[in-house]
């Protein structure tokens, strides 16, 4: 795939293969990997998942963590080599936490989502975004679960509109939606 302006959104459920597929889309050579989750030393399961992703990535990729330092939209606006963002679900959770928005009305972090969609829309290079597709199951029992599902669903829909390509991974298989 060319490194010219091209934005791809890879959607999928947990353990669907979305991250691995997104990684396979990246060209040989320099790649900027933006990890949206920070390591929590008290959560060994999460640490194991992060380590699994780290082992899979080529050593020559540059990894940035958007959970500490510049925000994701700012990193995307800065440009750079082909970029992979994994994943928008953890980015959204971090944003909801930062805004103390779990009990706030839906749309409370709308300006942050607007900023991200704007940065993706204006991204001039190759960009691959990984995001969970969570609207295919039961309605979450908790308010926070429903809030997350609604917010990520709305964000995914907006990003699908500004991306050149949208893929869906299910059971290790990926299909092109757009």
Q: What whole-number distance in Å separates Cα of residue 112 and Cα of residue 120?
A: 12
Place of tokens 């990003």: 159
Known catalytic residue: 53? yes
The DSSP letter of residue 85 is E
Dihedrals φ, ψ of 55, to 5°? Answer: -65, -30
Dihedrals φ, ψ of 88, to 5°? Answer: -75, -20
Which of 122, 90, 94, 109 is CA-nearest to residue 154? 109
Which of 175, 139, 131 is CA-nearest to residue 157? 131
Q: Annotated catalytic residue: which of 6, 21, 53, 60?
A: 53
Residues designated as active site: 53
């Amino acid at each position: 795939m060319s490194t010219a302006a091209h934005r791809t959104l890879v959607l999928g459920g947990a353990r669907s293969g979305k991250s691995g597929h997104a990684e396979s889309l990246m060209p040989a050579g320099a790649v900027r990997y933006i990890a949206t989750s920070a390591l929590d030393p008290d959560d060994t399961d999460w640490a194991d998942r992060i380590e699994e992703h780290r082992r899979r990535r080529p050593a020559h990729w540059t990894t940035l963590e958007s959970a500490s330092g510049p925000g994701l939209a700012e990193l995307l606006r800065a440009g750079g080599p082909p970029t992979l963002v994994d994943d928008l679900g953890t980015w959204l959770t971090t944003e909801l936490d930062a805004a103390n928005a779990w009990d706030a009305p839906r749309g409370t972090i709308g300006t942050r989502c607007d900023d991200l969609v704007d940065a993706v829309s204006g991204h001039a290079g190759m960009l691959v975004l990984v995001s969970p597709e969570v609207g295919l199951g039961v309605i979450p029992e908790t308010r926070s679960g429903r809030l997350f599902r609604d917010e990520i669903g709305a964000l995914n829909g907006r990003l699908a509109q500004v991306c050149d390509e949208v893929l869906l991974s299910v059971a290790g298989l990926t299909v092109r939606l757009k």
